[in-house]
Amino acid sequence: MRPRLLLPAVLAAATLLVTACAGGGGDKGDDKTAPPASAPAAGNGSLTVWADDARAKPLQDIAAAFTRDKGVKVKVVQKGLGEIRDDFVSQAPTGQGPDVVVGPHDWLGKLVHNGVLAPLELGDRAAAFSPVALEAMRYEGRTYGLPYAVDSIALLRNTELAPQAPASFDELLATGRRLVEQGRAELPVAVPVDAKSGSPYHLYPLQTSFGCQVFGTKPDGAYDRTRLELDGPGCQRFGPWLRGLGKDGVLSTSLTADIATDAFLKGKTPFLLAGPWDAATFRAAHVPFAVDPVPSADGSPARPFVGVQGFFVGAKSANPILAQDFVLNYLSTPQAQRALYDTGGRVPATTAVLDQVKDDPVVAGFARAAQAGMPTPNLPAMDSVWADWGLTQLAIIQGHGDPGELTGAMAGRIRAKIAAG
Amino acid sequence: MTQTLPTQPPRTPPGRRPPADPGHPPAHRGLVGLAVRIVLLAVVDALAVYGLLALAAQHKWGMFGALLVGTVAVNVIYAGKRHVPAKYLAPGVALLLVYQVYVVFYTGFAAFTNYGDGHNSDKPDAVAAILAHSETRVPDSPVRPATVVARGDRVGLLVTLPDRGVRLGWAGHPLEPVADPVYDSVGRAVAAPGWHRLSYAQIASRQKEISELRVPASEDPNSGSLRTADGISAAAYRSTLDYDRGADTITDRSTGKVYRPTSDGVFAAADGTRLSPGWKVLVGLDNFEKILTDRDIRGPFLGVLVWTFVFAGISVAVPFAIGLVLAAVLDGKRLRGHRIYRSLIMLPYAFPAFLAALVWQGLLNTDYGYVNVSLLDGAHIPWLTDPWLARLSVLAVNVWISFPYMFLICTGALQAIPAEVTEAARIDGARRGQILRHIKLPLLLTAVTPMLIATFAFNFNNFNVIYMLTGGGPKDPDAPIEVGSTDLLISLVYKLAFGGSNRQYGMACAVSILIFVVVAAISVVGLRRSRAFEES
């Protein structure tokens, strides 16, 4: 009698239906990310890939080519980088997770610890990748990811203000200070420090130049989580040095990444410690700059953390063979790796592709910086390491407490957390 | 949003409204209505049947039952002429069940589990992950080109050796030489007598079977088993762990160590070593117990609880006082341009709160912020990095964000007080101050008290301002868990669930429940005290 009453009826039923199909798996974004596993992958099956916005676009073309060749549909779902890891962990057990995800290697520990990753056997393909990229993708002796790009902190230098690459960090500071005295710059060097979480990542090359590593390594080159070295002899010298930079105002916990980037962009500082992320911005703004590895501050080589981007296959993928085939035999080819470079512009993890593009001084500079580095540890414990490490750095830079005591206390806390698992 | 649908005004104009008695409608409307209803119900049922089939295929019987009951209910309610109240209520009830009741019960349930990192799935998944992780390639064993072949229901692997020798094997049947293999153009064996090659599409449709296929490399178990990951190559793997389904134990082959499932949802050996990952189990009141007894958690928890009360209390009292004064001042129409002032005062309310907090974060930067650099002439006051100043800054920004709302409420309440009341007071000889204190304030408080309680509850959980302004910091590097000076309970929950090192969803749900108890108690007591509902 009352047709209008049917509208609510339809809504109600549709709601029931939608929530039912989502399998109670969580928020509204879920149901569009994966087809119901039941829909019997008609004929050739289909793959779902999760990627963040920087990587979704280059992947689209490669995915289309895979579909052309093999008749397998590949759906590239764009998600926020921050969401991918946690959503993967929570959704993979429901069977609604992706077949392949793209992300940095330091997720590995957490993903394996949650049992959502399938090991990858690179076989002979491994020879094509740089050693640091391969090392990064290993966790507890097994390889879990196919690398495609590496990034690390390097020294960006405004070539107009500082035509010569400094040989040491002291030389860098002297140049910077002279420019500030001459009124040509406002900051001798810009090192981004987050006022909430510190800057262990940006400061790591300087820290390693004091011989202070985060973890010791096992014979096979992997980090040994039982050997935290953040309170080693080198670190005990690094702390007071850091305190000195804080006192002199070279380092400031107010200098956020935004302010630091802006200062370099506007020529207010000759030097910036940064990753490759903003290089395109500086180019677009015609800032004359060069990229070099971070110089040593205390004699030992400065070794930045290297982040390796790669592809991972889900342990509960409904299409294990297709996913492995896509990653191992398709994404590993020089053509695919080159295509990823062409649209993404990141330093390639494949040595052949790197050779092709090394005429680009920015890519070559970041590649040299990465070669000097070591992979960011991919242990699950790293999250708590970052937090304590950064807070201690903040305290040292801000001049609270004794650097030696702070360093020792930090190491004690981190060891306790690692032991507690 | 959609919950208001049933109460929306009817789309038909009032004049054409169907008569109240559904028994005697105009005949043509009845027919059209019936047709539309049948079509819509048919669409709903068709969708429901599709959903039921999909769920049945996935063996999701809980959801299947819920959808079935829902579909039947929708048909019963909307098919006949009866159940008129249910016709209005059903959509709202359905949405309430899905978006409120389910979420509340799920939170309540999760609070009694150890759901979190390392315990994110069920036991079979954990066993599968442990075994997969323990399977390692036999050292120095080569990766060989392989073809997936089938004979009847059985799948096998056809491996081509570098010398064009060919081996064939299948589950439980070690590799052995093949007499007359068929090669493709690149010299790779693709078929053997009785065995045919699976096409890519056939491999795709039998993926699970093929990825679980293990072909013994030889009679010697130490030489491992061949498996293929991508369908075109194979290598020998050896597992270091064995799962005994009957005894429900995992045994390390090399050391003989036996891992048994524990009540925490992990496999652990007698010496305490554990296998990762574990699985989700009910842990009873463990999470609550930990919050209340673990010193590392209890200390910060109590501190955060106190600060949350202080923050919420001040965030209600100060903006209310400012709003009331401003409203009283601007209430009289004697002040010139009072409309302009009112509009200006509303400005902070017009910004989204989280945006305002982000902007304030920049303004309060110690060395580069506008407040220090321009207003305070280059001072270096650590507004957001000193614990006490950070608390002050958070409060100040929140007051700045919320006083316009209080001003709005008070203005409305003051203007709602009938002019006769104040006029009568004035005739009786009351002065302005007396009128405000004895007449206007009591009337106003009756009207705004429920609002104040709601604001208190809101600020108790005011995640945005804290997260955007200080992220809960500054943190004490010596604190045992990652808690800062300005953390509220809700941002503590966030850190437990999503921040920090370990996702602890179960623990976060337990804290949420405690927060709910606190907020509910305050609301109930507050509303009782104010007697807001009795007088209305």
Q: Strand ranges (DSSP E) for B343-460?
A: none
Which of A6, A124, A406 lies nearest to residue B36, judging by beta carbons? A6
B63 vs A328: CB contact, 8 Å cut-off? no
In a domain, A357, yes or no: yes
Percent of the residues in chain B that have a pLDDT greater than 90, as a whole number:
15
Q: Are residues A100 and A246 in the same domain?
A: no
Tell me the residue length of chain A. Answer: 421
Smallest Cα distance from A105 to chain B, Å:
16
What CA–CA distance (Å, rounded) separates B20 from A243?
82
For A1, B11, B18, B33, B215, the CA distances from B26, given in Å and listed in that order, are: 10, 18, 8, 11, 76
- pLDDT score at A238: 94
**Strand A305-314 relative to strand A374-375, pairing:** parallel
In a domain, A21, yes or no: no
Report CA Rg, chain A.
24
In a domain, A56, yes or no: yes
Q: Are residues A138 and A45 in the same domain?
A: yes
Whether residue A405 lies within 8 A of chain B, CB to CB, comes out as: no
A11 vs B2: CB contact, 8 Å cut-off? yes
- pLDDT score at A8: 45
Whether residue B17 lies within 8 A of chain A, CB to CB, comes out as: no
Q: Are residues A278 and A185 in the same domain?
A: yes
Whether residue A68 lies within 8 A of chain B, CB to CB, comes out as: no
Using pLDDT thresholds of 50, 70 and 90, give the confidence band for residue A155. Answer: very high
Whether residue B72 lies within 8 A of chain A, CB to CB, comes out as: no
Smallest Cα distance from A409 to chain B, Å:
8
Q: How many CB atoms lie within 10 A of CB B112?
A: 19
For B403, B444, B448, B456, the CA distances from B451, given in Å and listed in that order, are: 13, 11, 5, 9
Whether residue A195 lies within 8 A of chain B, CB to CB, comes out as: yes
A16 vs B70: CB contact, 8 Å cut-off? yes
- pLDDT score at B26: 53
In a domain, A247, yes or no: yes
Smallest Cα distance from B58 to chain A, Å:
6
Q: Are residues A173 and A272 in the same domain?
A: yes
DSSP A324: H
Tally of domains in chain A: 2
How is B442-462 classified by DSSP, letter by letter? Answer: HHHHHHHHHHHHHHHHHHHT-
How is residue A85 written in tokens?
A: 């890891």
Smallest Cα distance from B289 to chain A, Å:
18
The owner of tokens 């959980």 is B461
How is residue B322 written in tokens?
A: 């400012």
How is residue A105 written in tokens?
A: 């290697």
- Residue A123, pLDDT > 50, answer yes
What CA–CA distance (Å, rounded) separates B533 from B536?
5
- Residue A4, pLDDT > 90, answer no
Q: Per residue in A170-223, pLDDT tens?
A: 999 999 999 999 999 999 999 999 888 889 999 999 999 999 999 999 888 889
For A187, A200, B226, the CA distances from A291, given in Å and listed in that order, are: 18, 21, 47
Q: Are residues A173 and A289 in the same domain?
A: yes
Q: Which domain holds residue A411?
A: 153-304+378-420
Q: Are residues A180 and A241 in the same domain?
A: yes
- pLDDT score at A44: 59
A254 vs B200: CB contact, 8 Å cut-off? no
Nearest to A187 by CA among A112, A257, A263, A99: A263
B229 vs A409: CB contact, 8 Å cut-off? no
Q: Are residues A395 and A253 in the same domain?
A: yes
In a domain, A55, yes or no: yes
The owner of tokens 């829902």 is B70
Q: Is residue B174 exposed (0-12), middle (13-18) or buried (19+ Cβ within 10 Å)? A: middle
What is the reported pTM? 0.81
B-interface mutation test, from A114, A197, A259, A410, most B Cβ less than 10 A away: A114
B-interface mutation test, from A16, A72, A187, A391, most B Cβ less than 10 A away: A16
Percent of the residues in chain A that have a pLDDT greater than 70, as a whole number:
89
Element (H, E) at B287: helix B286-293
Which amino acid belongs to residue B529? Answer: R
Q: Are residues A267 and A395 in the same domain?
A: yes
Q: What average pLDDT does this structure show over B106-127?
A: 88
What CA–CA distance (Å, rounded) separates A37 from A84?
20
- Residue A244 phi/psi, 5° resolution? -60, -45
Q: Per residue in B72-85, pLDDT tens?
A: 988 888 887 777 88
Q: Per residue in B380-438, pLDDT tens?
A: 888 888 889 999 999 999 999 999 999 999 988 888 888 888 888 888 888 878 888 88
Which of B63, B231, B503 lies nearest to residue A321, judging by beta carbons? B231
CB contacts of A89 in chain B (<8 Å) are: 117, 120, 503
- Contact yes or no for B114/B283 (Cβ under 8 A): yes
Using pLDDT thresholds of 50, 70 and 90, give the confidence band for residue A418. Answer: confident
CATH code of A194's domain: 3.40.190.10
What CA–CA distance (Å, rounded) separates B312 from B306?
10
The owner of tokens 């369908």 is B231
Smallest Cα distance from A310 to chain B, Å:
18
More confident call, B175 vs A94: B175
Q: Per residue in B308-329, pLDDT tens?
A: 999 999 999 999 999 998 888 8
- Contact yes or no for B466/B487 (Cβ under 8 A): yes
How is residue B505 written in tokens?
A: 């969803």
Using pLDDT thresholds of 50, 70 and 90, give the confidence band for residue B16. Answer: very low
Rounded (10°) CA dihedral A94, A99, A100, A104: 10
**Strand B189-191 relative to strand B135-137, pairing:** unpaired
- Residue A52, pLDDT > 80, answer yes
Of the candidate ranges A12-21, A279-288, B257-266, B335-344, the one whose mean pLDDT is the lowest: A12-21
Nearest to B360 by CA among B369, B368, B352: B369
Q: Are residues A143 and A167 in the same domain?
A: no
B301's CB contacts (< 8 A; 6+ apart) are B291, B492, B511
Strand partners, B260: B268
Q: Is residue A400 exposed (0-12), middle (13-18) or buried (19+ Cβ within 10 Å)? A: middle
Whether residue B82 lies within 8 A of chain A, CB to CB, comes out as: no
More confident call, B268 vs A94: B268
- Residue A28, pLDDT > 60, answer no
Whether residue A127 lies within 8 A of chain B, CB to CB, comes out as: no
CATH of domain B290-535: 1.10.3720.10
B121 vs A93: CB contact, 8 Å cut-off? yes
Of the candidate ranges A3-12, A30-39, B14-23, B117-126, the one whose mean pLDDT is the lowest: A30-39
In a domain, A15, yes or no: no
Q: Are residues A112 and A219 in the same domain?
A: no
Domain spans in chain B, listed from the N-terminal domain onward: 2-17+25-110, 123-275, 290-535
Q: Are residues A219 and A316 in the same domain?
A: no
Q: Per residue in B82-110, pLDDT tens?
A: 778 888 888 888 889 888 888 889 888 99
What CA–CA distance (Å, rounded) separates B214 from B197?
18
Q: Are residues A165 and A190 in the same domain?
A: yes
